Structure 1
Amino acid sequence: MTAALVRPEKLGPALAAALHDNAWRDFRAELIAGGKSNLTFRLRSAAGEVILRRPPSGELRPSAHDMGRECRVQQALAGSGVPVPDVLLADPEGDLLGVPSYVMSAVAGIVVRDAFPPGFSVDFRELSGNLVDTLAAIHTVDIAAAGLGDFGRAEGFLARQIRRWSAQWQAVKKEDVTAVDWLISKLTVPRHTTRALVHGDFRLDNCVLDARRPAVINAVLDWEMSTLGDPLADLALLLFYWREPGEQPWKLAPAITATPGFPRRTEIAERYAATTGADLSDLTVYLAFAHLKFAVITQDTIARVRDGAMAGQDFGDLSGEVARIAAAGLDILED
């Protein structure tokens, strides 16, 4: 299966040409598990290692799994205050793998999901502060200077996002889930919004931490859903992922922030507001929307695992998870 997804007979020569090293004609590919949307492979050869990003196999919905978009924003942010891997080979037309893909540098460090490595010592509060500051750096990128002025329409962003994810729900659901329908019906759009580059899925395990200075973020990954939009949508999704002690984890997201020593969600929001000057008075709407978004992502993952489009990955029993996420979103709106 791996060979069919990475097509070494085509990708190898292209890598050799792009990196000026014929050792890349013969590489080994290893799936990096954990991705719920796109597929990430570590490619190793005598010349070193690089990372391949590509969509899952099977039928792709329009605008989903956009590797060209992900590649473009990383190229635009090179040399900025936002740490990103270098793009080494871009194939936006899909000539190499049959789908758009790109190859990026393998940034040194670790990606932490469910637990820190044994013996790994880190100040959780310092790491959390750096994570929030990195999000703030994304939201304060000079869009015009980065060449991203046409990267999306920020005006009406949240209204379009609600429509988009509502339509995605209709496309992926296999049965009615009352909590999701109610959540969609109750979402409203705040009167005042702001404009910035947004990541779309910012969280701790989409960052590479420095192995020697573990509170330092070496790179931000997974820019598939990035666009110009409302930065509070990014903050709200980070807070959605940010589980606290005693809270049940979301089945498709790590809950490492529930480890004693991590700050609470309120502190994360306060740090962000202090750093950016953002008005958080309408944050509950964005938090509820984050629940809708992840409920749809969860349903989509269920469908893709069932259809064999996730390179053999299995994320366990997800029954009832979509309804649980949506119900939690409703609770936020009703508090």
Structure 2
Amino acid sequence: MTDPVTDSLPGLDLDAFVTWFGAQHPDASPDRSTWTASLVAGGKSNLTYVVGDGTQEWIVRRPPLGHVQATAHDMRREFTVMSALAPTDVPVPQTVALCDDHAVLGADFYVMEKVEGTPFRDAAQLTALGAETTAALADAMVDVLARLHSVGPAAVGLSDFGRPEGFLARQVKRWGRQMEGSKTRELPDADRLLAHLGAHVPADDGTSAIVHGDYRLDNLLAVPGEPEPVRAVVDWEMSTLGDPLTDLALLLVYDRVAETVPALGVSDASAAPGYPSSDAIVARYAAARGLDADALAGAMAFHLGLAHYKLAAILEGIHHRFSAGQTVGGGFEHIGEAVEPLLAAGLRAAEGKD
């Protein structure tokens, strides 16, 4: 995180925010001179800030600057799903206010409570905790995902949050459009993988759940060593109703991507002693949801191929913004190098070769 500033940051006009927020949250200080803001480091998509009035602090989330896909960075979606999950056993931050008046910050944004906890990204962080604590944290990560997928959408008012029927076919088309809209160069494996996925979409089996869409260890705020170490699940911008195996597959791909593309500089947490293998994660998830582990493992090829393609499309979009000088913060210079290796790995996984 950068040092707090008392004036504006890219994407956050602090004067405009304080004026707006005072009307939404009367307990906030009306004295503009006490307010500070910091850009939270680590995010490569939506922009996240810590704002404070000298007594309290909150988190502000808004879309990235510049090139933004029409279907991405939906602030209302994040706000809605976290508000709905608040009374469940899925840990989420408390939402505070949503703004769709672009006169304030130039885009939709929302405010939520600041949850104390660490988004663990590095093997070194986990190694310092010890193998036993790392294993317990990873197990909790899987258990929270299983709890999320066990929440009935209708029970929390999310029946209309997505369209489960035909979800996987739409995902293939959606991410194909996302890739096409973000491409900065020819990517032959993108075409090959997309064609393979389109020809091998699993039949709908009536299984649907609330899907996070970007579930991984560094999208959790955690306090290791506690009985329930996961304090909050964050970054819900791609959440919807659909096939829960898409979340599980993307988690497994994230766990392997640091090894696949070292230049990317993403989380290498899975390399820490005590972090479970992919097979162990699938087995624990299956047990938590009462599923057959062998059958679940056998159904993952399509989902792993889709997860690779989805991540490649996201990174190509970030590379597009970086190339146009529209990113905020550092760490973007190697993003584009990850796309082609991810697509190649996705083809192998989809074809059952990896």
TM-score (normalizing by structure 2): 0.88
Q: Distance in 1 between matches of 2:224 and 2:282?
A: 27
| 2:161 pairs with 1:148 | no
Pick which of 113-122 and 20-29 moved more.
113-122
Find the counterpart in structure 2 of residue 171 from structure 1: 181
Q: How big is the shift at 1:256?
A: 1.1
Q: How big is the shift at 1:306?
A: 2.0
Q: Distance in 2 between matches of 1:68 and 1:166?
A: 24
Q: 4+ residue stretches of structure 1 with deviation over 6 A? A: none
Find the counterpart in structure 2 of residue 318 from structure 1: 335
The one-letter code sitting in structure 1 at the alignment partner of 2:173 is R
Q: Distance in 1 between matches of 2:104 and 2:234?
A: 22
Contact persistence 2:322–2:333 (CA under 8 A): no
The one-letter code sitting in structure 2 at the alignment partner of 1:153 is R
| 2:191 pairs with 1:181 | yes
In structure 2, relative to structure 1, the CA distance for the partners of 1:325 and 1:200 (3 Å cut) is: same
Pick which of 137-146 and 122-131 moved more.
122-131
Q: How big is the shift at 1:36?
A: 1.4
SS state of the match for residue 262, structure 1?
coil
> How many corresponding residue pairs?
335
In structure 2, relative to structure 1, the CA distance for the partners of 1:233 and 1:117 (3 Å cut) is: closer
SS state of the match for residue 52, structure 1?
strand
Q: How big is the shift at 1:252?
A: 5.4
Alignment of 1:1-335 (within 5 A): 2-23=8-29, 25-26=31-32, 27-114=35-122, 115-116=124-125, 120-121=129-130, 123-187=133-197, 188-193=200-205, 194-210=207-223, 213=226, 216-243=229-256, 249=262, 251=264, 253-278=266-291, 279-280=295-296, 281-334=298-351, 335=353
Contact persistence 1:13–1:25 (CA under 8 A): no
SS state of the match for residue 232, structure 2?
strand
Unaligned runs of 5+ in 2: 1-6
SS state of the match for residue 320, structure 1?
helix
The one-letter code sitting in structure 1 at the alignment partner of 2:320 is A
In structure 2, relative to structure 1, the CA distance for the partners of 1:249 and 1:79 (3 Å cut) is: farther
Q: Distance in 1 between matches of 2:15 and 2:335?
A: 37
In structure 2, relative to structure 1, the CA distance for the partners of 1:80 and 1:6 (3 Å cut) is: same
CA RMSD of aligned residues (A): 2.2
Deviations 1:304-334 (A, max 9, x none): 1222322233323234321100000111133
Q: How big is the shift at 1:282?
A: 1.8
Q: Distance in 2 between matches of 1:10 and 1:127?
A: 40
Contact persistence 1:243–1:256 (CA under 8 A): no
Q: How big is the shift at 1:48?
A: 1.9
The one-letter code sitting in structure 2 at the alignment partner of 1:191 is A
SS state of the match for residue 335, structure 2?
coil
Q: How big is the shift at 1:52?
A: 0.4
